[in-house]
Chain A
Amino acid sequence: MDLVANNLSYKPDNQYHLNEVSFNFKEGNLYTILGRTLSGKTTLLKTIAGLLTPDSGEIEFDGKNFLKVPVWERNVAMVYQQFINYPHLNVFENIAFPLKQRKIDQSVINDKVMDALKSVGLVGFENRKIQELSGGQQQRVSLARSLVKNAKILLLDEPLVNLDYKLREQLREEFKNLFSKGLADETILIYSTTDPRETMELNGEVIVLDEGKVLQVGPAKEIFENPNSLKVAEISNDPPMNIIEAKISDNHIKFEGIDVEAPQHLSKLTEDGLKIGLRSSDIELNENGHEFEVELAEISGSETLLHLKRGNTKIIVSIEEVLNFKIHDKIKINFKIDKAYAFHADGKLASSPFGGLNG
């Protein structure tokens, strides 16, 4: 049973929330929608759920026109980024709600709810009020409620974004386990996120969305290795990929007085307006490197993010240890230039170290 969309557009108030979005989702697969905030992720999920009607375009599910089916008959499940549960019901009643709606036998409901509670690790919480639970537990309840339905389409709209760091890691791990079990059956799983790391970890098919437009579709690894444009490279990296305006001539990359030998996959590019992309993790501190000035140094976890400047070029470097720098310190860095990407002036990928569009 495939979920197929053709040229979905949604344009309230003359602004595109979805712009000619097409996709073909197959059952038993995980799809990750990656995009920044306001890129149209939630709109797309709500359109699939039936909460929004697109202005144009079609959605077909199992060969039938999905747009003619009202929300309550679509058999989809959705988990919101806010922890949405029914506040007047306790945990058990919350999870049982969609089943009761289908008039299923009470004993069957009991079994299914207990199974769902087990799979999200909330056994023993049946009689708790929703307000008595922590954010992470509330989100587990809404996940359990969406699992218990055996919906053919499961939509997860940034389910981890409102949780604190530790819970997010923990729940992400549990999600992965659930998905790998759940994927055996016939569910289409659609997961939206802003976090490139989450995308890579979930390792599904990725749809990169920006301003309502699909920029690239492909497996997570492919998106990471061969982003088809500057935009995708920015969206799929956190911190965003460094973009340096440079010139390549005589096998050398030149910018801001720096001159490095071009790696093989970049050597043939000589056009004007070329942009070099380099991940923040592909730059290292080196005594013999090029001098940059520190604009800002932030320590996040066990990582140090350095915002550096030289002339008009600003870059971000991430270093896997905690280092203390002051503003205006001068430091020396080296580029792992063989990991560099090149983009044409219009933003399209020119060459990637992983072989995309070589030369």
Chain B
Amino acid sequence: MKAYASIWRLRFINGMQYRSAALAGMATQLFFGFVFIMIFAAFYSNGSGDQPISLDDLITYVWLQQIFLSFIMLWFRDQELFDLITNGNIAYELCRPMELYPHWYSKLLAQRFASATLRCFPLMAIVFIIPEPYRMGFPPTWGSFVLFLIALALGLFVVVAISMLIYISVFWTMSPVGSILMIAVAGEFLAGMVIPVPLMPSWLQPIVYILPFRWTTDFPFRVYSGHIPVAEAAWGILIQIAWLAVLVLAGRALMKKALRAVVVQGG
């Protein structure tokens, strides 16, 4: 366990070096947050009848997306891991007394954590003080808040488990471009990153609900605003755990298969 903690730590230190990237990222995220909120506000003021989610909840949803972007975005990629596979440096990873799956999992987790730590606190400070209607709301109860934290953490584990599948696919494809594009475009949409899930057409929602993607973002964010009530949220967390188990087991099995057939590239 100490080994994984150590890898995690070094990765984290490494990731914390990218301060200017974090600054640029924060500016971008504020910009996108404002744009999304303006669009939704315009729709809501002209819309007729009841909306499936209130504007306040939606604003919170958008800000949470922006704050925790590095936790949840699927296209967040670790070039180093891809390079390890395609240029053969994986040779060194394989002569360590560790299983490769948890080894890489902890690396990816640390990288997202480092990136999120740098960005989320300043962003939070901003979005809680800006004027209405752009200001972000607080969760309705402490229960919602605690469940949100658990759901967010589990969502992060699920995202990393999904992205592990992208890395494993590179053992066969030798290029991450295809896998990333496919999973990122489809996964991002199905997670509610483009259109919040409650606003999707009713025929699409059942499809979204049976896939793992929405459990990474849509679910924790709606738990935060109380749009998903506490009792329902507790059930949702169990479903998150189930997805996590399935994805990790699948990833480990595929990794094992990949390593049996692995070709270490280069001399």
Partners in one complex: no
Using a CB–CB distance below 8 Å, which chain A residues touch chain B?
A: none
Using a CB–CB distance below 8 Å, which chain B residues touch chain A?
A: none
